[in-house]
Chain A
C-alpha cells in the first residue's frame, strides 16, 4: 500500500494523462494553446473541460495545428502570460522550428509531452524518438518513469523554466504511462499554487507603457553572443533544477535530482535508461541483487541540461555499463543517450568503464524482464573478462535477417 509523502497529500487513482491535466488545473496557467494528438489528447481534453466548467480561469486556444499551438504559446508567454502546451510525436515534429524560437527568445513555456514513435511508418506507441529529435533545441527536458513523476515534474518544471528563462518539456511514455492507471499522490491546490508562485516577467508585450521589440533580426555582430548566452543558460539551469528539487523535497517530501541511482553505488554492472522501462530494470536488479550480482541502475530524469560531470562521478566505478536508448539516431554512429554518456566519460578521462549500446522498445516493441536479465548477463561476462563483445549498437527484440 502506497503511503503519502506529504502530510496533506491525497492518494488518487489516475492515468498519466489525467494527472498531468490535474497538475495543469492546479498550476492554472494564464494561457494554454494546444492541438490534439494521440496519446497526449486527453491532457488538453480534460483541461478544456476545466475551462468549460469555469474550474480554471485560463484562456484555452484550440488552434488548428501544433505549429500554431506552439506559436500561440510562445506569443502568450512573450505577452506576459504563464503559458503551456501539450503534444506528442508528429505534433512535436511540426513544432520543430518554433522550439528553437521559444528558447532563443528565452520564454519559459511549459510542455506536457507524451513520448511516441515518429512516422514513417505511422505508429502511435511509445519510444523516445520525438523528444530525442528535439534534444538540442535549448529546451530543458525532464523525463518521467511513472505518473507520480510526471505530476511532480511538471510542477517543478514550471518553477525551473521561469527561473532559468528557458522553455521546459516534461515527458512520459505514451500509453505505458499516459494511459496506465496508477495510484498517485496529489497535493492540495493551494499548496501547488504556492509552490509554483505567481509568474512575474521582467519585460512583456502587454506592458504597453514600456514598449519593446522582441524577435529582432540579429546578425553577425550580435547573434553569436545571444546563442552563447542561451547555451550558458542551459548550463546554469542545472543549479536551478537542484534548488527546485530541494525545495520540492522540503515541501512535498519526494526526492528528485538529475537522475535516480538504484543500487548503483557499489554496482559492478549497470544500466543507464530513461522513462518507464526503468521500472522493469529496477525490478530485475532487485532480483539479481538477491542472487548476489552487483547490478545497478542509473535512471536519467533530466536529460537537458545533460548532467555530464555528475554522471561521470556516479558511473566511474562501474566495470561495464549498458546505455539503453529508446530511439535510434540513424546516424551510422551511436544513439543519443549513449553518445552523451560516453562523451561525458571520455572528456573527463574516465576510461575505466566499458560502455555498451543497446536500442530497445522502438514503436512500442515489448521490453520484458528476460531481456533485461540477458543484458545484465552480457555485462557480467564482459566484466569477467570476455573480450569478444559487440562494439556496435545491439538491437533488443527485433527480427533481423
Chain B
C-alpha cells in the first residue's frame, strides 16, 4: 500500500509546462508513476504518442530523468536495448547506480503496432515496467480506432453512420495476452485511484523481471467529456466492471477494487460523446450486448480470482 505522506515528499520528475490537454489522463499516469518510485534512478522509454510529443518539444523537456524516444512500434525493444546496455556496463563497473527501467506507450503503440516488440521483450524477461496508458484509440493522430477501442465507440476511422454504429468489434484483451506470457506481474489499473495505481507501480518495480500495467486513461478529447470529469469517468469504468482493477502476481489473480454495487454500463457510457449514438432507440441491442459482454468477463475474472491461489 502506497503511503501518501511519504509519496508527498518524493520529487516530481515530470514538470508542469508540458503541452498535454487540460484533463488529460496520460500526464497523471506519468506523474504518479514517477512519484511512486521515490528517488530510485530510472530511465524512461516512450513510444511515439501524445505523451511523447507533448513533453519533449525541442529544445524543451518536461522530464527530469533520462528520457528516450525513438519510434512508435518499438518501445519495448528499445527498453530491452537500454536494459542490456545497463547489464553490460554495470558488470564492467562503468555504471554504479541501481537503475530501473520504465516504458510508457499508448494503446496504439502497445495493443497494435508495438505488440510484437512488447511480446518479445516480455518473453526475453528484461527487467522493465511497461505502462500502457490506455485511452482506447489513436488520440495523437486524431482519434482513430485501435485494438483497445471498445465496441460501439465512435472514432474517426470506425465512425457511427447510417450503416455502422461505431466500432463493430470488441476490444482486444491485452491484459490477458500479457498474463499468458507468464511474467511475474501484470495489472489493470485506472486513473482516479492514485493508491491503486501507485501501489501497483511499486509492486511491479520491486520485481526482478518484466512487469506490465494496463491503466485506463480517459482522453477528454477522444471520449468527449468535460476536462474536470477525467477521474470520475475512469472510476465509473471500474464501478460498472467495464474495466476491472485487478492484478496477477506470479499467476495469482486478485481483484483490487470490488464495486459495492455493480452499476449498469450505461452509467459509464452516457457521459461520453463517443457512445452518444448508442442511446438512440434503434441501438438498444448494442447496449445490451456490451452489458452482456461485461457481465461475462466479470464472472470469468471472479472465478479466476477464486481458483488461483498461492501454492
Contacts and interface: CB of A to CB of B under 8 A. Distances in A.
> Is B truly associated with A?
yes
Interface in A207-223: 207-208, 211-219, 222
A75 B120 contact: no
17 contacts: A30-B88, A67-B74, A71-B74, A72-B77, A72-B80, A73-B81, A74-B78, A74-B81, A79-B82, A80-B85, A81-B84, A98-B71, A206-B85, A208-B42, A208-B97, A213-B61, A213-B66
What 6 A-B pairs are tightest by C-beta distance, nearest first? A75-B81, A64-B120, A72-B81, A68-B77, A215-B69, A79-B85
Contacts of A77: 81, 85
Interface string B76-102: 011111101111110110110101000
Contacts of B82: 75-76, 78-79, 205-206
Interface stretch (B22-30, B51-59, B186-194, B208-216): B51-59
B231 to A, nearest CB: 28
Contact of B84 (A31, A64, A65, A219): A31
A101 B88 CA distance: 23
A206 B66 CA distance: 7
Interface stretch (A9-17, A53-61, A172-180, A251-259): A53-61
A76 B117 contact: no
Contacts of B69: 214-216
B81 A57 contact: no
A205 B43 CA distance: 7
A63 interface: yes
Given A33-B84, A72-B81, A206-B66, 17 more contacts: A30-B85, A31-B88, A61-B124, A64-B116, A67-B77, A68-B120, A72-B80, A74-B70, A76-B88, A79-B85, A80-B85, A81-B88, A98-B74, A105-B70, A205-B43, A206-B99, A222-B58
B77 A215 contact: no
Contacts of A72: 77-78, 80-81, 84
Given A30-B89, A71-B70, A213 B63 contact: yes
Nearest to B41: A208
Interface in A151-197: none
Contact of A213 (B53, B67, B97, B121): B67
Given A63-B77, A101-B71, A205-B43, A216 B85 contact: no
A200 to B, nearest CB: 10
A76 B71 contact: no
A287 interface: no
Given A33-B84, A68-B117, A98-B71, A62 B58 contact: no
Nearest to A221: B58
A207 B79 CA distance: 16
Interface in B26-68: 41-43, 45-46, 52-53, 56-59, 61, 63-68
Interface in A27-41: 30-31, 33
Interface of A: 30-31, 33, 57-59, 61-65, 67-68, 71-81, 83, 97-98, 101, 105, 205-208, 211-219, 222
Contacts, number: 168
Contacts of B117: 64-65, 67-68, 71
Contact of A205 (B52, B68, B120, B124): B68
Contact of A63 (B59, B61, B120): B120
Contacts of A215: 46, 52, 56, 67-70
A69 B73 CA distance: 13
B85 to A, nearest CB: 4
A165 to B, nearest CB: 16
Contacts of B42: 208
Nearest to A222: B58
A73 B73 CA distance: 15
Given A67-B73, A97-B71, A211-B63, A206 B78 contact: no
A64 B88 contact: no
B85 A75 contact: yes
Contacts of B58: 216-219, 222
Contact of B59 (A59, A61, A222): A222
Interface centre among B68, B73, B117 (most CB of A within 10 A): B68
A71 B92 contact: no
Interface of B: 41-43, 45-46, 52-53, 56-59, 61, 63-71, 73-74, 77-82, 84-89, 91-92, 94-95, 97, 99, 116-117, 119-121, 123-124
Nearest to B65: A211
B183 to A, nearest CB: 15
Nearest to B57: A217
B77 A57 contact: no
B100 to A, nearest CB: 10
Nearest to A61: B84
B74 A217 contact: no
B53 to A, nearest CB: 5
A341 B64 CA distance: 49
Nearest to A58: B88
Given A67-B74, A208-B41, A216 B57 contact: yes
Contacts of B73: 67
Given A64-B119, A72-B77, A101 B84 contact: no
Nearest to B73: A67
Contacts of A57: 88, 91-92
Nearest to A208: B41
B85 A59 contact: yes
A217 B116 CA distance: 25
Given A61-B80, A216-B58, A81 B120 contact: no
Contacts of A212: 61, 66-67
B72 to A, nearest CB: 9
A75 B80 contact: yes
A118 B226 CA distance: 52
A208 B59 CA distance: 20
A75 B71 contact: no
A76 B70 contact: no
Contacts of B94: 80
B71 A79 contact: no
Nearest to A64: B120
A215 B82 CA distance: 14
Contacts of B80: 33, 61, 63, 68, 72, 75
A208 B99 contact: yes
A59 B124 contact: no
Contacts of A216: 56-59, 61, 69
